[in-house]
């Protein structure tokens, strides 16, 4: 049964299990159509069929197995099995050494020979109870928490005893025990805490109430008081969270993930998951797991000769407080991605000490001439763009971080501001920009602010065109996001529509400043008010200088945005410009041909472009999956998915081992990254090192 994951390995014959040192192995097996074969193992085993039908034969007896059939095969028992045509089996199993059970229990099971029990007919509760045992064993083995081997052995004993009793028709459904306590609220709180590692149990609310010695009504009231949620919603949330982790970190089928997470109904699981996460389980996995392609290829369908452009006319990137060296390092990479546009970061262009960087001091002294060193550095950047057929856009911000914000009505201010544009034009620059984002209206309000901004843009553009009629201009307004339906936003944008030169492009961030989804509806609404051509300033994968990485593919941008927007500009990470090439490649892929863009395909090709050997590709793949980006992981530009995941791990009871394992995983990535790329990704390695140190400190504080 394989509809959950078309790429999962299917078994065609029984395989011999390799028992670990603990003496017990829990596993899942997905059979291919036509599965059949014979087996004889030195270990004993339990199998629980969860889907499909199969015929077994052993010890002179024949068995017909279907869903919820439990079968026990003693060590040394030879048997054969064959799945029904077109109805392959999905089965969970436990292989164990007989010495894990007491001699008496083991001998009694062995005496029964090969044993099959239809749990569905044995007792109304037995099927779900036995499924819970397998689910708990799978969870414990996968989590590797303290004492997990003992937990597996105890559940094995439970399973063996229950099987023996069922075989003798003495079915019984034991309710979970709970430690006594006088305070009802305390008992419910402890129960809620315990649920975090027992959510997969098939337990009714009546059983939960009885387990803490309360009536249903009192239990539900206290549970909501303790957790802020109903019992059903709380359990569902735990199950869905566990399922999300399995989908992101394992190759288990959707059927298996649902089963292990406590869901008996696959359709209910799919519906609940999509409601909670906004996508199907398979789509969720595709967003978080990188599949490396066999060979490099064009990520999107190329545009043929004579065909109209399939994407945005202008496709590029801006810096984020990048140094001149960072720009020069990335410019040669842009043509490889079919990008044709680069805008400087206005903050670092004229700030005396890059004031706008986190933790830095200084000021935006826009009125002062640029130093000769800065002119020389940016002259090299401009020349490099010209050599690579990249349009360089010279951008400044006259207000942000400045002790003396520019006054558009003051001629001296405008003249001092214009001197920088005149210098850039003298270097052959033809694209220019003024940005006033991240500022307010001023005392005059939206309309007055819009009028002042329009006049400033018009004045600078007119003077540039006096020298070069082909000069182009972009403007990033105060309101550079949304659909322009807010009355104040509309007042400001309508003035720009009337007063600003009609050939000026307007930067727009999307439905909001930082957003997982950008829609055509919002773009059309905004453009209808501002009445200028739009240039999408996509705030991905920018981290705003925060200690985090956003490496997953861009997604959530509608496929027809290029029909209403002329340009696409990706906003990058701060110091990590080298690893930024991974998400940037997906942004370029989208911008080149939005309709054919596939995030999963694009990220695989991006890795192959950057990493040449299989070892390099695997470590970059692991790095991307660990830092998938805020579009996938949630949060914003400063969200760190590694620290968020670690926080979730340590919040769960008895999860110290899982947290340590996660730290080791990150240390392994760091070591491999340094080995495979000894001279690259230094700032990326610094970020990972800081995350490892932070996690170790958190664990140390909890000792």
Torsion over CA: 252, 256, 260, 266 (sign): positive
Mean pLDDT calculated for residue range 49-54: 85
The strand pair at 24-30 and 61-65 is best described as unpaired
Q: What is the pLDDT of residues 368-395, one digit of tens each?
A: 999 999 999 999 999 999 999 999 999 9
Q: What is the pLDDT of residues 10-35, one digit of tens each?
A: 788 888 778 888 899 998 888 888 88
Question: How far is CA 295 from each of CA 292, 298, 571, 606, 607, rounded to the nearest angstrom?
Answer: 9, 10, 29, 11, 11
Q: What is the dihedral of CA 644, 648, 654, 659, to 10 degrees?
A: -20
- 3-class state of residue 64 by DSSP: strand
pLDDT-based confidence at residue 177 (cuts at 50, 70, 90): very low
Distance CA 237, CA 229 (A): 10
> Which of 4-13, 241-250, 604-613, 694-703 shows the lowest per-residue confidence on average (mean pLDDT)?
4-13
State the CB neighbour count (10 A cutoff) for residue 519.
Answer: 17
Q: Residue 584 contacts by C-beta under 8 Å, 6 or more apart in sequence? A: 317, 337, 541, 570, 572
- pLDDT at site 67: 84
State the CB neighbour count (10 A cutoff) for residue 206.
Answer: 12
- pLDDT at site 11: 83
For the chain, the residue count is 703
What's the order of all strands across the beta sheet hosting 44-51?
24-30, 90-96, 44-51, 69-73, 115-118
Mean pLDDT calculated for residue range 485-513: 96
- pLDDT at site 273: 95
Distance CA 687, CA 311 (A): 34
Mean pLDDT calculated for residue range 324-333: 96
Distance CA 456, CA 417 (A): 10
| Angle subtended at Cα 248 by Cα 243 and Cα 249, rounded to the nearest 5 degrees | 100
314-577 and 24-167 share a CATH fold? no
What's the DSSP call for residue 326? H
How many CA atoms are closer than 13 Å to the CA of 546, on its beta-carbon side?
17
Of 128, 166, 146, 140, residue with least CA distance to 25: 140
| Angle subtended at Cα 273 by Cα 269 and Cα 274, rounded to the nearest 5 degrees | 120
State the CB neighbour count (10 A cutoff) for residue 554.
Answer: 28
Verify whether residue 438 is a known catalytic residue.
Answer: yes
pLDDT at 552 over 90: yes
- pLDDT at site 18: 85
The 3-state secondary structure of 277-301, one letter per residue: HCCCHHHHHHHHCCCCCCCCCCCCC
- pLDDT at site 695: 93
Stronger pLDDT, 507 or 658, i.e. the higher one: 507
Mean pLDDT calculated for residue range 196-224: 89
**Catalytic site residue from 158, 264, 438, 544:** 438
pLDDT at 185 over 60: yes
- The dotted CATH code for 314-577 is 3.20.20.80
pTM above 0.85, yes or no: no
pLDDT-based confidence at residue 263 (cuts at 50, 70, 90): very high
pLDDT at 36 over 50: yes
Distance CA 25, CA 93 (A): 8
The strand pair at 79-83 and 36-39 is best described as antiparallel
What's the DSSP call for residue 149? H
- pLDDT at site 104: 78
Torsion over CA: 233, 239, 245, 251 (sign): negative
- pLDDT at site 471: 98
- Residue 28's φ and ψ, nearest 5 degrees, are -125, 150
- pLDDT at site 465: 98
Mean pLDDT calculated for residue range 500-512: 97
> Is-contact 538 587, C-beta < 8 A?
yes
Mean pLDDT calculated for residue range 274-291: 89
Of 562, 452, 432, 559, residue with least CA distance to 503: 432
- pLDDT at site 229: 86
Mean pLDDT calculated for residue range 456-476: 98
pLDDT-based confidence at residue 342 (cuts at 50, 70, 90): very high
Mean pLDDT of the chain: 87
Helices (H), 427-486: 445-467
Q: What is the pLDDT of residues 112-171, one digit of tens each?
A: 888 888 886 555 467 777 888 888 888 788 877 778 888 889 889 989 988 888 877 533
Distance CA 137, CA 174 (A): 18
How many CA atoms are closer than 13 Å to the CA of 404, on its beta-carbon side?
11
pLDDT-based confidence at residue 702 (cuts at 50, 70, 90): low
Distance CA 585, CA 591 (A): 10
Stronger pLDDT, 57 or 272, i.e. the higher one: 272
- pLDDT at site 574: 93
pLDDT-based confidence at residue 198 (cuts at 50, 70, 90): confident
Burial string for 89-123 (b: 16+ CB within 10 Å, else e) reads: bbbbbbbbbbebbeeebbebbbeeebbbbbbeebe
pLDDT at 308 over 60: no
Question: How far is CA 364 from each of CA 343, 396, 477, rounded to the nearest angstrom?
Answer: 18, 10, 18
Helices (H), 168-301: 184-195, 205-211, 216-227, 231-249, 254-260, 266-277, 281-288
Share of the chain above pLDDT 90, in %: 57
Q: What is the dihedral of CA 676, 678, 684, 688, to 10 degrees?
A: 70
pLDDT-based confidence at residue 655 (cuts at 50, 70, 90): low
Tell me the sheet residues that pair with 20.
none
- pLDDT at site 171: 36
> Which of 47-51, 298-302, 566-570 shows the lowest per-residue confidence on average (mean pLDDT)?
298-302
Distance CA 131, CA 119 (A): 10
> Is-contact 244 210, C-beta < 8 A?
no
| Angle subtended at Cα 351 by Cα 350 and Cα 352, rounded to the nearest 5 degrees | 110
- pLDDT at site 492: 97
pLDDT at 111 over 90: no
Stronger pLDDT, 463 or 31, i.e. the higher one: 463
Torsion over CA: 254, 260, 266, 268 (sign): negative
Of 146-150, 493-497, 629-633, which one has max mean pLDDT? 493-497
Q: Which fold has domain 24-167?
A: Jelly Rolls (2.60.120)
pLDDT at 339 over 70: yes
State the CB neighbour count (10 A cutoff) for residue 468.
Answer: 12
pLDDT at 566 over 50: yes
User: What are the domain boundaries of the chain?
Assistant: 24-167, 314-577, 641-701
Distance CA 180, CA 496 (A): 70
- pLDDT at site 392: 98
Torsion over CA: 86, 92, 98, 104 (sign): negative
- pLDDT at site 172: 34
């Amino acid at each position: 049964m394989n509809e959950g994951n078309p790429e999962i390995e299917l078994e065609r014959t029984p395989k011999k299990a390799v028992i670990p040192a603990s003496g017990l192995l829990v596993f899942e097996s997905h059979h291919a159509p036509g599965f059949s074969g014979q087996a004889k193992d030195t270990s004993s085993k339990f199998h629980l069929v969860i889907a499909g039908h199969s015929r077994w034969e052993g010890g002179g007896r024949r068995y017909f197995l279907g869903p919820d059939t439990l079968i026990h095969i003693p060590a040394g028992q030879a048997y054969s099995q064959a799945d029904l045509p077109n109805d392959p089996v999905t089965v969970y199993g436990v292989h164990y050494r007989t010495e894990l059970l007491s001699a008496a229990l083991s001998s009694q099971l062995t005496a029964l020979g090969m044993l099959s029990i239809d749990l569905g007919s044995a007792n109304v509760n037995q099927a779900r109870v036995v499924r819970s045992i397998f689910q708990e064993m799978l969870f414990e083995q996968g989590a590797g928490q303290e004492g997990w081997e003992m937990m597996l052995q105890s559940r094995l004993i439970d399973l063996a005893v229950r099987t023996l009793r069922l075989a003798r028709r003495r079915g019984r459904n034991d309710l979970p025990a709970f430690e006594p306590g006088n305070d009802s609220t305390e008992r419910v709180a402890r129960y809620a805490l315990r649920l975090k590692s027992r959510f997969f149990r098939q337990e009714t609310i009546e059983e939960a109430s009885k387990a803490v010695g309360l009536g249903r009504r009192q239990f539900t009231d206290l549970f909501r008081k303790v957790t802020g949620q109903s019992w059903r919603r709380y359990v569902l949330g735990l199950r869905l969270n566990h399922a999300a982790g399995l989908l992101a970190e394992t190759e288990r089928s959707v059927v298996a993930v649902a089963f292990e997470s406590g869901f008996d109904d696959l359709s209910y699981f799919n519906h609940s998951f999509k409601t909670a996460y906004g996508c199907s389980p398979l789509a969720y996995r595709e967003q978080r797991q990188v599949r490396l392609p066999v060979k490099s290829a064009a990520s999107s369908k190329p545009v043929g000769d004579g065909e109209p452009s399939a994407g945005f006319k202008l496709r590029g990137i801006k810096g984020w407080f990048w140094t001149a060296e960072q720009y020069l390092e990335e410019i040669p990479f842009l043509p490889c991605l079919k990008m044709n546009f680069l805008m400087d970061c206005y903050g670092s262009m004229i700030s005396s000490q890059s004031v706008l960087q986190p933790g830095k001091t200084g000021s935006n002294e826009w009125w002062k001439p640029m130093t000769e060193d800065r002119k020389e550095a940016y002259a090299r950047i401009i020349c490099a763009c010209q050599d690579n057929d990249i349009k360089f856009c010279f951008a400044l911000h006259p207000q942000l971080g400045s002790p003396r914000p520019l006054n558009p009505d003051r001629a001296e201010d405008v003249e001092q501001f214009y001197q920088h544009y005149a210098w850039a034009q003298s270097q052959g620059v033809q694209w220019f920009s003024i940005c006033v984002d991240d500022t307010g209206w001023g005392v005059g309000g939206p309309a007055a602010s819009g009028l002042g901004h329009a006049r400033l843009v018009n004045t600078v553009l007119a003077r540039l065109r006096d020298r070069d009629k082909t000069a182009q201009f972009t403007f990033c307004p105060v309101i550079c996001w949304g659909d322009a339906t807010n009355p104040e936003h509309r007042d400001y944008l309508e003035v720009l529509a009337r007063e600003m030169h009609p050939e000026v492009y307007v930067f727009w961030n999307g439905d909001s400043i930082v957003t997982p989804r950008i829609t055509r509806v919002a773009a059309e609404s905004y453009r209808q008010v501002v009445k200028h051509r739009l240039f999408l300033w996509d705030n991905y994968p920018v981290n705003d200088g925060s200690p985090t990485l956003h490496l997953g593919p861009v997604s959530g941008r509608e496929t027809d945005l290029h029909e209403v927007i002329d340009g696409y500009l990706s906003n990058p990470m701060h110091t990590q410009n080298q690893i930024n090439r991974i998400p940037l490649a997906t942004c370029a892929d989208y911008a080149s041909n939005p309709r054919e863009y596939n995030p999963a395909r694009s990220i695989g090709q991006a890795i192959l472009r950057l990493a040449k050997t299989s070892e390099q590709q695997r470590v970059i793949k692991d790095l991307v999956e660990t830092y998938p980006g805020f579009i996938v992981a949630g949060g914003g530009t400063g969200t760190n998915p590694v620290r968020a995941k670690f926080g979730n791990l340590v919040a769960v009871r008895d999860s110290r081992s899982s947290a340590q394992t996660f730290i080791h995983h990150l240390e392994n990535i760091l070591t491999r990254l340094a080995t495979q790329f000894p001279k690259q990704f230094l700032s990326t390695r610094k970020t990972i090192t800081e995350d490892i140190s932070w996690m170790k400190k958190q664990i140390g504080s909890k000792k």
